[in-house]
Amino acid sequence: MKTIEIKNLITGYHQKNKEIYKVGNYPSLTLNKGDFVTLIGRNGIGKSTLLKTLSGDIPPIEGEVKINGTPIHQLDNITRSKLISFVLPNVQINGRLTVEEVVMLGRYPYINWWGKTSDDDKLSVIRALESVQAMHLKNRDITTLSDGEKQKVMIARALAQDTPIIFLDESTAHLDLPNRVEVFQLLKIIARKSQKTILLSTHEIEMSLQVADYIWLLQKGKCTFGTPDLLVSKNTIREVFNSNYVGFDKESGVFKFCSIEKQFSFGIELDVSVKDYLGHQDVDIRILWLIKKFISEGCDESKDADVQIKLLYSTDNELLEWNVTYKNKTLIYQDHDNLNLYNQINKDFFS
C-alpha cells in the first residue's frame, strides 16, 4: 500500500532575492508500507532537501507530495507529526534534559493539553530506548552523551513518536561500524514488523546495497529508483560514485581505491613451496590485501606484468620470502613485520 506519492516534484529554495534555486526534479516516486529505503547520492545533490520537502518542512517549488493519499500541505502540524517523524543530523538540544525526557518529546503529538504524560507514553519511551539498546543511558543528561549515543537517542525519540513514516537524515554518520550495521538492521526490522515506511539518507553505499529493500539514487536533477541488484547490474552505482581515486567493483560490491598516478603493472602469486609453510598466517589473505595496496598506489594487476612477485617459503632458513623480478633483475626480500613491499620495490627498481 502506497504511503508516499510524489508527482512532478521539483525541490529547491526560495532565495532572499526572490529567485528560485531548483535542486531536484522527480517526476514520479512512491514508497510503500513496510519498505526500508535508502537515499544515496553525492554531496550537495539534494538528499536533505528532498527529505525536508517530503516531511513538509519546506514547500515544493512545483508538484505534489501525498501522504496516505492526502496532499501534505493540507495536513495540519499535529496530524503531520502523527504520520511522519524526522531524525535530523546534529540536533543540538539546549537545557539539561535527561535521555528519557528527550525521548518523551517524541510523544508530544499525543500528550494532552495540560502536558500530562500517560502510562502509555512512558511505556513507548521505554520500548523505544530498548529497541536501540540505550536503556542504560535513560537517566543521563543528554548533553553528556557521545555523538553516537546521542544519535541512537534521537532514533529512539522517532520510534516513541510512533508514526507510520520515519525519515532519517544521515543518522548513522557518527556511529562506529557495528553500531551502523545494527541501526541499519534495526530499521529494516522495524519497517518489516511494524509495517512502517522508512527512508534513510546515507553515505553508506555498500551497506545500503546489502541491507535496503530499495534504493533512491539521486543524480543531477533526477532520481533512479530500484532494488540494489538492479542498480548494481545497470552500472548506475559506478556512474555516480566512480572517480579518479575510487572504483566500484560490482562483483564484490565494494569500492576499490586507486590512484591517478599510474605506476608499474604487477602480478603476485604463491609459489608452490609455500605448501611447506606451517605458520599461522593466512598467506592467501595477505596476498589479497597486498594486491589492494598496489592498486591503491596506481599499479595495475596483470598476467603479463612488468613486475612479477612470488611468495615462497624457504625451507633453508624457514622464512617466507618475496621474490621480485623486473626486467632481468631479481631481488629477494625476507618477510618480516616491517617490510613494506611496495615501498621497497619502488625504491630498489624505480628510483
Ligand X SMILES: Nc1ncnc2c1ncn2[C@@H]1O[C@H](COP(=O)(O)OP(=O)(O)OP(=O)(O)O)[C@@H](O)[C@H]1O
Output the smallest distance, CB 350 to ligand X, in A.
Answer: 39
21 near ligand X (CB under 6 A): yes
342 near ligand X (CB under 6 A): no
Three-state SS for 130? helix
Output the smallest distance, CB 23 to ligand X, in A.
Answer: 5
Q: Which is nearer to ligand X, 21 or 257 (CB)?
A: 21
Distance CA 7, CA 65 (A): 7
Q: Which is nearer to ligand X, 11 or 263 (CB)?
A: 11
Residue 351 cell numbers, joined: 628510483
Among 41, 56, 60, 106, indicate the residue that binds ligand X (CB under 6 A): 41
Sequence-ordered list of residues with C-beta below 8 angstroms from that of 101, at least 6 positions apart, any chain? 142
Three-state SS for 121? helix
Q: What residues from 43 to 82 belong to the interface with ligand X (CB under 6 A)?
A: 43-49
Q: Which is nearer to ligand X, 248 or 266 (CB)?
A: 248
Output the smallest distance, CB 183 to ligand X, in A.
Answer: 18
Task: Cell 526500508: give the residue.
Answer: 36
38 near ligand X (CB under 6 A): no
Q: Which is nearer to ligand X, 61 or 159 (CB)?
A: 61
Output the smallest distance, CB 66 to ligand X, in A.
Answer: 21
Q: Which is nearer to ligand X, 136 or 220 (CB)?
A: 220
Sheet with strand 20-32: strands edge to edge? 20-32, 2-14, 62-67, 70-71
Output the smallest distance, CB 45 to ligand X, in A.
Answer: 4
Q: Which is nearer to ligand X, 57 or 141 (CB)?
A: 57
DSSP for 298-327, written as a single string: T-EE-TT-SEEEEEEEETTTTEEEEEEEET
Options 41-49, 95-103, 314-322, 326-334: segment touching ligand X (CB under 6 A): 41-49
Q: Which is nearer to ligand X, 44 or 95 (CB)?
A: 44
Q: Are 43 and 23 within 8 A, CB to CB?
A: no
Distance CA 103, CA 161 (A): 9
Output b/e per residue, 121-135; b: 16+ Cβ within 10 A. beebbeebbebbebe
Output the smallest distance, CB 56 to ligand X, in A.
Answer: 16
Rg (CA), the chain: 26
In the complex, which residues of this chain contact ligand X (CB under 6 A)? 13, 21, 23, 41, 43-49
